[in-house]
Structure 1
Amino acid sequence: MLAKLKHFPLFLMLFSLGLPVSAEEATTTNEFNVDMDMGRGGEPRRVPDPSEFKVCAEADNLPFSNMKKEGFENRIAELIAEDLGKKLSFQWWHHMLGYYRNTLNAYRCDVIIGTVAYNDMLMTTKPYYRSTYAFVYRKDSGYNITDWDSPDLRKAKNIGVVDKTPVASALNDKDLMANAKPYRIFRDLTMPPSKLIDDLVAGEIDVAIVWGPIAGYYAKKSSVPLVVVPTPEYEGMPAQAKLQFNIAMGVRKRDKERQAMIQEVLDRRQADILKILDEYGIPHVPVVDERAEKAKKRGAVIPKNE
């Protein structure tokens, strides 16, 4: 679907950012040798170990995480666990519908390292970084693309975008849909996250517009010099289809003590976390208090504790 997006459900938005999603109709997998009945009604639950920092992590989703612990979320988890003096462990699962239900809410693990802030399926910390979609193009192209009105964006004959992402709204408004080449990464699970960057390097597309962490990480690893430019927020976007997102850590909805413990570490180690993001090439922009902005727009009083 490459039509103007009027509604962008939370699970699609999370999926488009490479973040874990959840839905009741999800399928499950037992390839990680786990008890699939754990945490279900009437069945035993794992009892969290106070000495353990157990993270729910995706098994093969770089640059975020993988089973070799090569992702930036793996690194951030290591930093948090070390600061707390706890033993780090992971419950691996695949990036798929039902992720929260089968991991965090089944008590197989206790922490999600990266999710959209104020995700109503979880209790989240304050945002610890904010990222954005990014324009990516070859350095030798001669392009200078900084925003949606850049003349060089209109010159691009093939603009690679991931199907069903908010980018479609901006391209549609700028009459650039005819130049868009959709990649159905959500439907074709054999297509790697690096596919757009790979095709950009190969000359199959002229510009890629990709979620920032994916853009920055794979551009940094590219054998061909690439330019990565964070997209500005597009003013014409509906609220459900914005381009910049605050990212936070998540715990179970009633796990206030764990949330507070993690928040203290995030506050102490913010500079170290940003260094990890920079090391991986992850573009980040200043965190925006989106709840305050929404309250201002509707004339509401901003709560003192927020």
Structure 2
Amino acid sequence: MPAGAQTSDLVSHNAFRVCADPANLPMSDKSGAGYENKLADLFAEKLGLPVAYTWYPMATGFIRNTLRANRCDVVMGYAQGQELVLNTNHYMTSVYTLIVPKDGDLAAVTTLSDERLKGKRIGIIAGSPPATHMARNGLIGKAKPYHLVVDRRYESPSADMLKDLTAGDIDAAILWGPIGGPLVKQGYPDLKVIPLMQETLPPHLFYRITMGVRQGEKVWQRKLNSLIRRNQKEIDAILIDAGVPLLNDMGTALYGADN
């Protein structure tokens, strides 16, 4: 009990303190326009607290300089299984997506082994899991890589990729669904987002997303788990409205979105 009291005492009782990137749309930004900002507003409302942000670029040192420094108490979106944080239960499962012109010859493609992708120039975030599938299917030679870890205040690889696709510099783009889906919904009506749910070989392309708290903060973790469980429908509504492709827990089917 004393240990639990000590760890939970690190969590503010006066504000819902969120660690976030100030320029990471569609997830978060300083204006509050991202869907993670809206999730933070929802959780703060349920807790009866104001939101207070600690802003730091989502790059090397993010957790060390925010959560571990006790400057904030929760990261709104963190992949399940990351050892830098203690994960809550997941509140969404999503997947990497193939993004193509809606009326083009790739609009019916659903897997990276599709012959119609042969010889095409595909944009890919360097080092991301779909790159392994692209290499296996002979698509890397003509691929256009974009940086994985950047300071989004100065560089935006996902937005650059979609601009290049619209301009015809690449034939298709592969993006993490919670990034690509909202960006396309916001500004690219002529593009189609195709969830890559049918890849059977590793690595899998769907991931469960949790909230991240400090290691040892079991009391706080349980409180957030309870909030996730009791407010899942409202969480889903925020994500679906943003354009995030949501999957079932096993990553085998979409739910809740217009398809």
Counterparts of 1:52-201 in structure 2, within 5 Å, are 52-143=15-106, 144-154=108-118, 157-186=120-149, 190-192=154-156, 193-201=158-166
In the superposition, relative to structure 1, how do residues 47 and 247 fare at CA in structure 2: closer, same or farther (>3 Å)? closer
Q: 2:59, 2:151 within 8 Å by CA — same for their partners in 1? A: no
Distance 1:185 1:128 in 2: 24
Q: Which runs of 5+ in 2 are unaligned?
A: 1-8, 252-259
Q: Structure 1 length as normaliser, TM-score?
A: 0.74
The alignment-based identity, stated in percent, is 33
Is the CA contact (8 Å cut-off) linking 2:12 and 2:73 kept in structure 1? Answer: no
Secondary structure of the structure 2 residue equivalent to 1:246: strand
TM-score by length of 2: 0.86
- State the one-letter code of the partner of 2:241: E
Q: Deviations over 1:180-237 (max 9, x none)?
A: 1112353686431311111111111111011111211111122441110111263332
**Any idea what the Cα deviations from partners look like across 1:128-175, whole Å, max 9, x if unmatched?**
101111000011213211112323222x62111111111121111112
One-letter amino acid of the counterpart of residue 132, structure 2: S
Q: Compared with structure 1, are the counterparts of its residues 79 and 284 closer, same or farther at alpha carbon in structure 2 (3 Å cutoff)?
A: same
CA shift, 1:47, in A, is: 5.5
Question: Does the CA contact (< 8 Å) of 1:201 and 1:224 recur in 2?
Answer: no
Out of 241, 254, 257, which is 1:279 matched to? Answer: 241
Structure 1's unaligned 5+ residue stretches are: 1-45, 290-306
Deviation string 1:96-147 (CA, Å, 9 cap, x unpaired) is 1111111011110001111011322211111110111100001121321111
Structure 1 match to 2:255: none
| Corresponding position: 1:258 with 2:225 | no
8 Å Cα contact 2:79/2:209 also seen in 1: yes
Aligned-partner residue type, residue 276 of structure 1: I
Distance 1:196 1:57, change over 3 A: same
What is the SS of the residue equivalent to 2:216? Answer: coil
- Deviation per CA, 1:230-278, whole angstroms, max 9, x where unpaired? 11263332xxx43211100111111111111111110011011111111
Q: Is the deviation greater in 68-77 or in 141-150?
A: 141-150
1:100 maps to a residue whose letter is I
User: What residue identity is the alignment partner of 1:146?
Assistant: T
Moved more, 116-125 or 208-217: 116-125
User: Counterparts of 2:164 and 2:52 in 1: how far apart (Å)?
Assistant: 36
The residue identity in structure 2 corresponding to 1:182 is: P
Q: Is structure 2 residue 189 aligned with structure 1 residue 227?
A: no
Any conservation in 2 of the 1:233–1:243 contact (CA below 8 Å)?
Answer: no
Which of 56-65 and 112-121 deviates more? 112-121
